[in-house]
Amino acid sequence: MKTKIKEILAVKGHSIWAVSPESTVFEAIEVMADKGVGALAVTLDEKLVGIVSERDYARKVILKGQSSRETFVREIMSTEVVCVSGEEKVDECMALMTEKRIRHLPILDGDKLVGMISVGDLVKTIIRDQTFTIEQLEGYIRGR
């Protein structure tokens, strides 16, 4: 079974938590905490311009002694954003995220941001797919 990203979004939903590049890092961290996510899309006029994560906060604000209330998202966000379409397969995305050492992946339909998945979303899907395969094999072995 080769699950596609659009199938994950169909279950997970297409909610996108985003901030502006002009938001403060404090505001971004508040949204992450409120929504229980580790990264946010950074959008300008509904266009994806970057991504900001807890890792960015830890490495570019805390470790450098900066103030999250005085630092803007634009100063710490990643602008080289790796994105995929909903047609990509879970295993391809897992390989891409592993290779690029990223934990969050924006999903685009053309230029439109339609969702965001995390490595955790992929792991859950892989486990679900493997459990299904095991159950099917066990049923076959038992002759059901």
Q: Would you state the pLDDT for residue 106?
A: 97
As a whole number, the mean pLDDT across the chain is 93
The answer to whether 107 touches 84, Cβ cutoff 8 Å, is: yes
Whether pLDDT at 9 is above 90:
yes
Whether pLDDT at 1 is above 60:
no
The answer to whether 39 touches 16, Cβ cutoff 8 Å, is: no
Pick 5-142's CATH classification: 3.10.580.10, 3.30.930.10, 1.10.10.10, 3.40.50.920.
3.10.580.10
The answer to whether 117 touches 5, Cβ cutoff 8 Å, is: yes
Q: Would you state the pLDDT for residue 128?
A: 87
* Tokens (6 digits) for 24: 């403060």
Confidence of residue 69 (pLDDT cuts 50, 70, 90): very high
Q: Would you state the pLDDT for residue 141?
A: 87
> Can you state the angle between helices 5-12 and 119-142, rounded to 10 degrees?
100
Length of the chain: 144
Kindly provide the b/e burial profile for residues 27-63, where b requires at least 16 CB atoms within 10 angstroms of the residue's own CB.
bbbeebeeeebebbbbbeeeebbbbbbbbbbeebbee
Q: What is the pLDDT of residues 11-53, one digit of tens each?
A: 998 899 999 999 999 999 999 999 999 999 999 998 999 999 9
The stretch 94-112 carries a mean pLDDT of: 95
Output 132 or 55, whichever has higher pLDDT. 55
Q: What is the pLDDT of residues 70-92, one digit of tens each?
A: 999 999 999 999 999 999 999 99
Q: Would you state the pLDDT for residue 46?
A: 87
